[in-house]
């Protein structure tokens, strides 16, 4: 076979006088280019590492300080106040050096020490500046003079053209709130959810905890905050994610969709080729630290730690706990198609494969008609089922021989790609297209995604794409940042030919993708089938509903002089009450990335102010003026809670860490046990859009992403992800469980839409409400709004 000959790198012949090797010229060239590329990459990484390491200064500033100190030798002004003379007299081997050499060397050493001192001074000054969060609590559109001065100082101390990791050493540590503040905010948050008797009991538990046990636990937590870069993140990753023994499919992993209205090409292999090539470009920038750091207000830097493990990362199952394996410089990709696993090399001649070359490789896989090996078809179901059986099977069946080599190929791959065989995507002509698309991304067939990889890229036959993401290593905004870069690069930089193929010449001499080989015994196949059945039961229970709310968006909400997030959260509270007739503990995710190694904090959205507003909306005797006043009060309260969470004064992460410390010390706390066992029946999250602003959506309104979502957190609750897209669109992703008689995702979607319209009507004259009621009648007649 021709491809077999091209895959051979060298030939040899055994002769009586020895072995005669014949190394082909092409192989020598590739080896040389690979070596040059590797050294060039190391040099760039070293250079960028130095630049980030001395930030906010620059290497050239060292030369300026040295020149200044050297000049002082000739103008006879001792800028070091005698320190250079001291260094000169204590130099080793000074008897072997001339007076002038010792003077120059002492000046260089002093200048270097002074330069390092100035770097640390600048860093700690910047850290002190970044510890100020008063700007967050100022009214939108109004900036005080002190904040303006503060912003100027932050810009001045941030340096020029900072790299991705330039600010890491200057970010402040997450502060530990006081126990009194946390307990006060906690009791305030549960007051609207408890009757008087229940609340009094909770007050007693909180008081007992504060008086008898809190001080000891708090001291340990403060000690950890001094020692660790973040007192929450490592325990959050370990105990919330890695120690969980339940399936991570649906329960932990989340998904992100493709562009809603645009499909750049309908050729599956071509679209996958462009997207994979764009990912390789992003990975190269990430590894070199060349991406610009995200900054609030264009000035305040966000932590970039989570981005380090985006590629070459896998969650490895364990009996008691999993761990995250992150490798460097992986040069291959694993592709799944119709039950077969293929290994595809991503480099040739020391460079990335071009989009056209990747298209050729993926098309070869699509054209391959070979059958799956015994046990191969549903092998990935092991990653979808319970963690302990998967960990045991990994030790027993995949720790040696060909199976270990093959599993290592998957776990060490840059990422995982599935070439799906069923088209998906948003189609306005199809009623449930968004629902089907979301379920495919969230769980697929339960065996066609490798749920342990940092992310699985999914390619559909109609050219649509999507991503399924393992949650332990990072949160949704991190993957969203990468996905925005990929989509803009794919559509506006790489592009396609008129026939829909990738641009560039087709290289047919590339070695074909390699089938990954397995030897899976019957006992292991039984374990795989058991994992598949348990995963399928979970997947079949997911009741999903997605829809596009296009009546109005961020633009109109801002004209109402209120926060879009607060507006939507209050609409969710109103929808929840109309759906369940009771209020419930509500989780909204907020980021804490203004601190070193920060991840998330919880905003408890069901406040007393929100409850009062919802009751007024359901009270026929309340006037719109009263409702609007209560809305503004509830929105302001929500914004303040969100700001507190962002600035390290949240409730739940502090209580979580106190609980972990209590378990380490063997301290029994009924209060903490009660708090940590409370169910979140409504779990919500906003996925940010336009983090990079690479596409002007006002100019290209069709190039918007559908956002992403996650599975339900509680068995009898809802999971709601919402994405504010531009000025005039909000997408909602709603999940629940069919097995719960109390929930219905489609019904909840109707309630959300009605709540959004009802709240918006408060800002309009009374005679404009007729149009809003007409739209709801349309929904109640059974027409699903997309």
What's the CA dihedral at 491, 492, 497, 501 to 10 degrees? -30
In whole angstroms, how far apart are CA 112 and each of 61, 70, 123, 330?
A: 10, 12, 17, 37
Q: Print the SS3 string covering 563-604.
A: CHHHHHHHHHHHHHHHHHCCCCCEEEEEECCCCCCCCEEEEE
| Run of H or E residues at 778 | helix 769-780
User: Strands, DSSP E only, in 607-705?
Assistant: 682-686
Which residues are CB-neighbours of 186 under 8 A, at least 6 positions away? 206, 651, 655, 675
Which of 457, 480, 440, 456 lies closest to 314, judged by CA?
456
Pair 572, 613: CB distance under 8 Å: no
Which residues are CB-neighbours of 585 under 8 A, at least 6 positions away? 190, 193, 604, 606, 678, 679, 680, 681, 682
d(CA 640, CA 654): 18
The burial of 98, by beta-carbon neighbours within 10 Å (0-12 exposed, 13-18 middle, 19 or more buried), is given as exposed
Q: Which residue has the tokens 């008691």?
A: 320
d(CA 265, CA 362): 15
Pair 334, 409: CB distance under 8 Å: yes
d(CA 509, CA 506): 9
d(CA 318, CA 392): 8
Phi, psi for residue 259 in degrees, rounded to 5: -60, 140
Sign, Cα dihedral of 469, 474, 476, 478: negative
Catalytic residue among 277, 337, 443, 471: 471
Pair 632, 562: CB distance under 8 Å: yes
d(CA 469, CA 441): 9
Which of 561, 557, 550, 558 lies closest to 571, judged by CA?
557
Which of 138, 170, 168, 145 lies closest to 157, judged by CA?
170
Pairing state of beta strands 340-345 and 332-337?
antiparallel
Pair 719, 709: CB distance under 8 Å: yes
DSSP-assigned states of every residue in 751-767: HHHHHHHHHHHTTS-GG
- Sequence length of the chain is 786
Which of 646, 661, 535 lies closest to 235, judged by CA?
661
Beta-carbon count within 10 A of 230 CB: 22
Q: Print the SS3 string covering 448-501.
A: CCCCCECEEEEECCCCCEEEEECCCCCCHHHHHHHHHHHHHHHHHHHCECCCCC
Residue 515 tokens, joined: 């089938």
Catalytic (active site) residue 471: yes
d(CA 143, CA 40): 46
Which residues are CB-neighbours of 742 under 8 A, at least 6 positions away? 580, 716
Q: Print the SS3 string covering 642-658.
A: HHHHHCCCCCHHHHHHH
d(CA 689, CA 477): 8
Annotated active-site positions, please? Answer: 471
């Amino acid at each position: 076979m021709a491809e077999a000959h091209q895959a051979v790198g060298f030939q040899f012949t055994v002769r009586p006088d020895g072995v005669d090797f014949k190394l082909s010229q092409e192989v020598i060239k590739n080896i040389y280019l690979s070596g040059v590329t590797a050294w060039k990459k190391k040099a760039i990484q070293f250079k960028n590492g130095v630049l980030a390491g001395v930030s906010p200064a620059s290497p050239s500033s060292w030369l300026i300080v040295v020149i200044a100190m050297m000049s002082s030798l000739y103008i006879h002004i001792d800028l070091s106040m005698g320190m250079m003379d001291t260094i000169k007299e204590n130099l080793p081997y000074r008897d072997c050096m001339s007076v002038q050499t010792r003077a120059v060397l002492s000046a260089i050493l002093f200048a270097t020490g002074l330069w390092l001192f100035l770097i640390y001074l600048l860093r700690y000054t910047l850290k002190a500046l970044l510890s100020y969060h008063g700007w967050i609590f100022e009214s939108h559109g109004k900036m005080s003079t002190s904040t303006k001065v503060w912003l100027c100082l932050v810009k001045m101390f941030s340096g020029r053209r900072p790299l991705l990791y330039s600010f890491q050493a200057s970010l402040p540590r997450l502060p530990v709130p006081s126990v009194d503040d946390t307990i006060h905010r906690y009791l305030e948050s549960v007051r609207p959810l408890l009757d008087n008797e229940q609340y009094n009991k909770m007050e007693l538990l909180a008081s007992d905890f504060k008086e008898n046990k809190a001080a000891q636990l708090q001291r340990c937590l403060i000690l950890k905050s001094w020692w660790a870069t973040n007192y929450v993140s490592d325990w959050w990753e370990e105990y919330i994610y890695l120690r969980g023994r339940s399936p991570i499919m649906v329960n932990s992993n989340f998904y992100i969709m493709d562009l809603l209205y645009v499909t750049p090409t309908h050729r599956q292999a071509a679209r996958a080729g462009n997207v994979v090539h764009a990912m390789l470009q992003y990975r190269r920038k990430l590894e070199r630290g060349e991406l610009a750091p995200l900054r609030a207000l264009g000035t305040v830097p966000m932590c970039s730690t989570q981005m380090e493990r985006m590629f070459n990362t896998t969650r490895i199952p364990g009996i008691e706990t999993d761990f995250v394996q992150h490798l460097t410089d992986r040069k291959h990709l694993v592709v799944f198609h119709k039950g077969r696993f293929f290994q595809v090399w991503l480099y040739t001649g020391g460079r990335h494969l071009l989009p056209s070359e990747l298209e050729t490789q993926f098309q070869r896989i699509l054209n391959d008609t070979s059958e799956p090996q015994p046990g191969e078809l549903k092998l990935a179901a092991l990653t979808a089922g319970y963690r302990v059986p998967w960990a045991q099977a990994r030790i027993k069946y995949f720790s040696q021989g060909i199976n270990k080599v093959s599993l290592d190929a998957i776990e060490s791959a840059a990422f995982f790609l599935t070439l799906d065989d069923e088209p998906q995507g948003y189609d306005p002509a199809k009623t449930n297209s968004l629902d089907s698309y979301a379920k495919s991304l969230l769980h697929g067939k339960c065996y066609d995604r490798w749920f342990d990889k940092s992310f699985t890229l999914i390619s559909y036959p109609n050219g649509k794409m999507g991503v399924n993401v393992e949650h332990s290593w990072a949160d949704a905004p991190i993957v969203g940042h990468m996905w925005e870069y990929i989509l803009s690069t794919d559509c506006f930089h790489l592009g396609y030919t008129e026939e829909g193929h990738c641009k560039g010449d087709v290289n047919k001499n590339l070695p074909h993708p390699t089938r990954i080989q397995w030897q899976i015994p019957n006992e292991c196949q039984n374990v795989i089938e058991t994992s598949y059945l348990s995963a399928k039961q979970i997947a079949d229970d997911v009741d999903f509903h997605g829809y596009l709310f296009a009546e109005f968006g961020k633009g109109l909400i801002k004209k109402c002089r209120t926060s879009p997030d607060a507006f939507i959260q209050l609409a969710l509270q109103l929808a929840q009450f109309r759906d369940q007739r009771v209020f419930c503990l509500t989780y909204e995710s907020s980021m804490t990335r203004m601190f070193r190694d920060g991840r998330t904090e919880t905003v408890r959205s069901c406040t007393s102010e929100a409850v009062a507003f919802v009751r007024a909306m359901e009270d026929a005797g309340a006037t719109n003026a009263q409702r609007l006043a209560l809305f503004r009060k509830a929105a302001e309260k929500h914004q303040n809670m969100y700001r507190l969470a962002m600035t390290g004064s949240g409730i739940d992460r502090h209580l979580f860490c106190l609980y972990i410390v209590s378990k380490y010390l063997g301290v029994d706390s009924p209060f903490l046990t009660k708090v940590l066992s409370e169910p979140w029946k409504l779990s919500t999250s906003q996925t940010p859009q336009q983090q990079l602003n690479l596409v002007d959506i006002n100019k290209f309104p069709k190039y918007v992403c559908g956002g992403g979502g996650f599975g339900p957190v509680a068995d009898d609750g809802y999971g709601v992800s919402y994405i504010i897209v531009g000025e005039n669109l909000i997408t909602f992703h709603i999940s629940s469980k069919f097995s719960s008689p109390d929930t219905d995702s489609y019904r909840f979607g109707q309630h959300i839409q009605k709540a959004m319209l009802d709240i918006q009507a408060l800002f309009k004259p009374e005679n404009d409400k007729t149009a809003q009621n007409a739209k709801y009648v349309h929904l109640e007649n059974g027409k699903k709004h997309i």
